A and B are shown apart, each in its own frame.
Chain A
Amino acid sequence: MALPGEGYGIKMKEFLVKLGKIDRRVIYLLVILAVVIPLIVKIRLPIFISRETNGVYTIIEHCPEDKIVLLDCTWDAGNRGENWPQTEAVMVHLMRKGIKFAIMSRIPQGTGFGREIAEKVAKKYGKKYGIDWCNLGYLPGEAAMIQALAKDIKGVVKKDIKGTPLDSIPMMQGIEDIHDISLVCGIAYWPSEDWLRFVQGVYGTNVAFCSSAIVSSAMYPFLDSGQLCGLLVGVRGAAEYERLLGTEELGTELIVPQSMVHLLIVVLIVLANIGFWAERREKKEERRGIRDEGGETGK
């Protein structure tokens, strides 16, 4: 005969086991809701400024005005979510400080994205192409190109993306080699370590990276050794940088849905483990029950 409350206990056990077997379509729906709801309901969360983001901010604050900054915008549409707010935040800072910068890319699509963001920010701050920023275009060749560029910029890049000779561009007057570049900022899904090998290691030029969050753990050894002066980690880095600049742009907007999805994944992991342990316990009890029965019949 069933004891009072035994039905409830069995139902509870079944519920706990089901927690470990949630249909993936339910998970997809939860992820979509976790992304969409914070975009509709404007929530603002406190932002902790990390050491690595501070590093990028500090180095740009101390960039001299007589040198240029080189932005390596090697990202495409797939990384737009993380690299676009990072690029925008860095360009806003450079334009505010009046530091000239040149955009380049090691993939064909990158220069288009860099140009689009630079035009948008330049319009806001009244900056002009050729005087405050320029676009060197797509430069293939990876390590070989970087080594050659460090030795002689105009030997490698004869014209900008519009076909204008570099000598005719006002901001590139007197910019000959890596010694005229105060900072190389690699903005990519996984920024090239060749900048560290052939530029920072050989000439001591400051290098900062803006990478996606998933590969950022690979950059921390370079931060620790001082080879990298700063690192923007995904959307979080962009949001922290915007906080330092006192603005609220795409980074600040996107960090909230990301936070919600991270929280959802942690909750799902906890539920999965509850279900896993409940199932394991049930199987143990079943085996014990079978053994007991076998023992009784054996008597």
Chain B
Amino acid sequence: MKERVVKIITLLGGLYYFLEFVLPQEIKGHTTYLSSFIVPMGNILMVLWAFAVGLGLINLSITHGKKVKKLEPGWIYSIAFFIAMLAMMVTCFLDTYHPTSLVRQFYEILFTRMYMPLGATIFSLLALFMATSAYRAMRVRTFEATVMVVSACIIMLGQVPIGLWMTRTLPSCIQLPRVSAWLLWIANTAAYRAVMFGIYMGMIAVALRLWLSLEKGMELR
């Protein structure tokens, strides 16, 4: 019964958005009224979306709570998770509902001086991995690999000022930024459009399966 209700709601929700997008607001003088409900429907979905944030927090708390309770390997990191989560939650609540200079300072320390540098650091590690991956992977073995490596080098240098500086004495039509722009605007656009065509055809099929609840993961157990 529960499963049937979920499937019906999924079907009706998808049908509403599809019809609202496709049908005009008026057909032969009669208003379809579908667009009148777009704002309340949007608000409902926004609330459900926000629920996902809370659900994520609950799931994380359950997972880490079990780890701490059973003293599994790495339980100390779960304690760190709870401390960080509670510190940020309490600070943000106080900053919103009872802001004082001390609370603001604490918020600045947690968000600007801890969270931001940590987040930036994790992402910046990619630069080192990209350099070593490019060094190891970009070997010219075949004709296609040659084309890929040459175009990668042109784009990498053309996208930054050093490419312009290196080719500044050449005619403007063959300077690296212009060649790189041609590759992106013409060659890349054509190839990407072709790939996306195929991807979107697949996405239509997947979307239909999700809408009609034909996907295996849609079953409630």
Interface residues of A (CB under 8 A from B): 22, 24, 27-28, 30-31, 35, 45-48, 50-51, 76-81, 108, 112, 116, 139-142, 144-145, 147-149, 151-152, 155-156, 213, 216-218, 220-221, 223-224, 233-234, 236, 239, 255-256, 258-266, 268-269, 271-273, 276-277
- Given pairs A50-B181, A155-B43, 9 additional interface contacts (CB within 8 A): A46-B164, A77-B116, A78-B119, A112-B111, A142-B49, A144-B46, A213-B159, A264-B131, A276-B139
Q: Decide if B128 is an interface residue (CB 8 Å cutoff).
A: yes
With both chains docked as a complex, state the minimum distance between the C-beta of A39 and any C-beta of chain B, in angstroms.
13
A262 to B120, CA, bound (A): 20
A80 to B119, CA, bound (A): 9
Contact with A along B124-145 (1 / 0, CB 8 A): 1001101110111011100000
Tell me which of B17, B162, B177 contacts A262 (CB under 8 A).
Answer: B162
A237 to B, closest residue via Cβ = B159
Q: Can you offer 11 A-B residue contacts whose CB atoms are under 8 A? A: A24-B132, A50-B177, A77-B123, A148-B41, A148-B43, A151-B39, A156-B42, A218-B192, A262-B162, A265-B131, A269-B152
Which residues of chain B in 40-76 are interfacial with respect to chain A, using CB atoms and an 8 Å cutoff?
41-43, 45-46, 49-50, 52-53
A35 to B128, CA, bound (A): 11
Flag if A81 contacts B131 (CB, 8 Å): no
With both chains docked as a complex, state the minimum distance between the C-beta of B104 and any C-beta of chain A, in angstroms.
13
B181 to A, closest residue via Cβ = A50
Flag if B39 contacts A262 (CB, 8 Å): no
Which residues of chain B in 160-186 are interfacial with respect to chain A, using CB atoms and an 8 Å cutoff?
160-162, 164-165, 168, 175, 177, 181, 184-185
A147 to B162, CA, bound (A): 43
B152 to A, closest residue via Cβ = A269
Q: Decide if B8 is an interface residue (CB 8 Å cutoff).
A: no
Which residues of chain B in 90-138 are interfacial with respect to chain A, using CB atoms and an 8 Å cutoff?
111-112, 115-120, 122-124, 127-128, 130-132, 134-136, 138
With both chains docked as a complex, state the minimum distance between the C-beta of B138 and any C-beta of chain A, in angstroms.
5
Take A112-B111, A256-B161 as given contacts and tell me if A152 and B119 are in contact as well, using a CB distance cutoff of 8 Å.
no
